Amino acid sequence: MKDKIILHVDANSFYASVETSFHPELKKQPVAVSGNPKKRNGIILAKNELAKKQGVLTGEAIWESKQKCPDLICLPPNMELYEEFSEEMHHIFEKYTHKIEAMGLDECWLDVTETAHLFGGAENIATSIRKEIREKLNITVSVGISFSKILAKLGSDLKKPDAQTVISRENYKQIVYPLPIESIIGIGSRMTRNLNKMNVFTLGDLLEIPAYILDSKFSIVFKDIRKKLLGFSTGEIASIYEKEPPKSVGNGTTTIFDIFSRDEIEATVLFLADKISARLRKQKLYASSLSISIRDCKLNVVKTCRALPISTNTTSDFVKFAMKIIDEFWGFGEKIRSIRLSARNLTTTDNVQCSIFQNIEDKKDGLNTSIDILRKKYGKAIILPATMLCSDFISK
């Protein structure tokens, strides 16, 4: 059987790179994306190369990083911006194949088995993708090219930033065998410790160890990894056209301080509904039920899911219905720490229910479309509901 040709594209220091691409004045500074120390989650989430060189580690507290790197610039995460960059990368990938599988916002597998010859081979595709992402988005990616998903991913880790690595049938023993076992996806720290006890340190050791030496539970995992590493199980990548539409579109937030009043709750709901409705409109989807989850300051969670009287994707409808539901099921007895809304029972525009108030619906559609156009052109913050501007408890 013909070998598959799989690319794994991994954006280098993604969050921090997007920030420096978006704020070029920070390009020569150590930058980290972190939770805000004044809020409740003050740790480093991502850092750029300059911060990395000064010892800044992902997952450590901001104060620890600042001790090592006093000039570190900490920015709050801007997930919408990262999603936009991720989407732009996907548009570039789609020029080369429709078989694309994302892992998070910054990593993707592409199956180019059927299309590589159209572009002069997989290495040319990797070079073009790197160039296009560098020039259009001003960030860099590393690409692994191989005959299985696991090896393509391994390849993208070997050389970075802005590099590509081919792991072929011919060179894979030379490249893969000397690597430590924990270099591949699927081998965690516990398994590494157990294997090390058996004198298995490298992937070569792992591939050479006779299966009967391993206990039965371990043996299943081992056989699976071995099959993948040797390319007997390459992993399928589905076409983007075959993917199911999402079952729900949700968004949640932990407020900066606990909230209590109905006005504060409504402002938070508005903030979430605004994001959810924009995402639904982007995918041309309408929701006909809404789930709401509220976590109070004692960390108790109450949830409900209700059908909506109409299918909708407008912010004002979600706020109106969500507040009606909250009035009915929330006792307003405890302070609230976080709220999550999820639009469910999603349908496409084709089977949306017709409202008897169609005229009003048309006007709402027009307003929402105008908001979407403005935000696409000038950024998300160009237009915000007025109540959100004075809601200092929402982490915008």
How far CA 216 is from CA of 193, 201, 219, 220, 222, in Å, comes to 17, 20, 5, 7, 10
Q: Read off the amino acid at residue 362.
A: D
Residue count at the site for Mg ion (CB under 5 A)? 4
Q: How far apart are CA 161 and CA 330, in angstroms?
A: 50
111 touches Mg ion by CB under 5 A: no
Which of residues 85 and 222 has its CB atom nearest to Mg ion in the complex? 85
Burial class (CB in 10 A: 0-12, 13-18, 19+), 203: buried
Q: Which stretch binds Mg ion (CB under 5 A): 10-18, 90-98, 214-222, 351-359?
A: 10-18
* CB nearer Mg ion, residue 14 or residue 330: 14
Which residues, 6 or more positions from 338, have their beta carbon under 8 angstroms from its beta carbon? 252, 253, 254, 255, 294, 295
Whether residue 161 is preceded by a cis peptide bond, meaning omega within 30 degrees of 0, is: yes
Where b means 16+ CB within 10 Å and e means fewer, 128-146 reads ebbebbeeebebbbbbbbb
Here the tokens at position 139 are 């960030």
Q: Which residues are paired to 145 by β-bridges?
A: 7, 166
CB of 84 to Mg ion, least distance (A): 16
Residue with tokens 């920070």: 26
Helix axes 189-197, 216-230, angle to 10 degrees: 100
CB of 141 to Mg ion, least distance (A): 8
Query: Which C-beta is closer to Mg ion: that of 15 or that of 321?
Result: 15
Shortest CB 97 distance to Mg ion, Å: 20
Stretch that binds Mg ion, among 44-52, 103-111, 146-154, 280-288 (CB under 5 A): 103-111
Residue (45 or 256) nearer to Mg ion, CB: 45
Query: Which listed range, 98-106, 176-184, 221-229, 284-292, lies at the site for Mg ion (CB under 5 A)?
Result: 98-106
Q: In the stretch 11-50, what mask flags binding to Mg ion with x, by CB under 5 A?
A: x--x------------------------------------
Select from 105-113, 220-228, 279-287, 372-380 the region that touches Mg ion (CB under 5 A).
105-113
> 49 catalytic, yes or no?
no
The verdict on 106 binding Mg ion (CB under 5 A) reads yes
Annotated catalytic residue, options 19, 84, 101, 107? 107
Q: Tell me which residue has tokens 């099959």.
A: 227
Rank residues 105 and 339 by Cβ distance to Mg ion and give the closer one: 105
CB-wise, 11 or 290, nearer to Mg ion? 11
For 261-304, the DSSP string reads SHHHHHHHHHHHHHHHHHHHHHTTEEEEEEEEEEEETT--EEEE
Instruction: Please give the residue whose beta carbon sits closest to Mg ion in the complex.
Output: 106
Tell me: does residue 10 bind Mg ion (CB under 5 A). Answer: yes
Q: Annotated active-site positions, please?
A: 107
Under the rule (CB under 5 A), what is the footprint of Mg ion? 10-11, 14, 106
